[in-house]
């Protein structure tokens, strides 16, 4: 079984301003930094999978956080 962690990013702006794109770029950049900092020659893809990214409303995020407690 592999260990899995989650990263939650919060962006607030008008719909259509590129929040989803910005968040995906942020996650990709973070995965590159993590791979480099670990110094094990791992691919950033190990730490970021764009197919597992989901954009949700603030209300849905709140419900998910409550459910996880």
pTM above threshold 0.85:
no
> Is the distance from CB of 62 to CB of 9 less than 8 angstroms?
no
Quote the pLDDT of residue 1.
39
pLDDT at position 57: 80
pLDDT at residue 53, as a whole number: 76
The CA-atom distances, in angstroms, between 21 and each of 16, 50, 66, 67 are 10, 11, 26, 27
What is the mean pLDDT, run by run of 10 residues, along the chain of 69 residues? 64 83 88 92 89 80 82
């Amino acid at each position: 079984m592999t260990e899995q962690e989650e990263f939650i990013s919060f962006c607030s702006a008008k719909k259509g301003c590129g929040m989803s794109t910005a968040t995906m770029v942020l996650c990709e950049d973070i995965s590159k930094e993590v791979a480099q900092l670990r110094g094990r020659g791992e691919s950033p893809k190990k730490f970021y999978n764009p197919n597992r990214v989901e954009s949700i409303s603030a209300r849905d995020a709140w419900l998910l956080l409550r459910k996880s407690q």
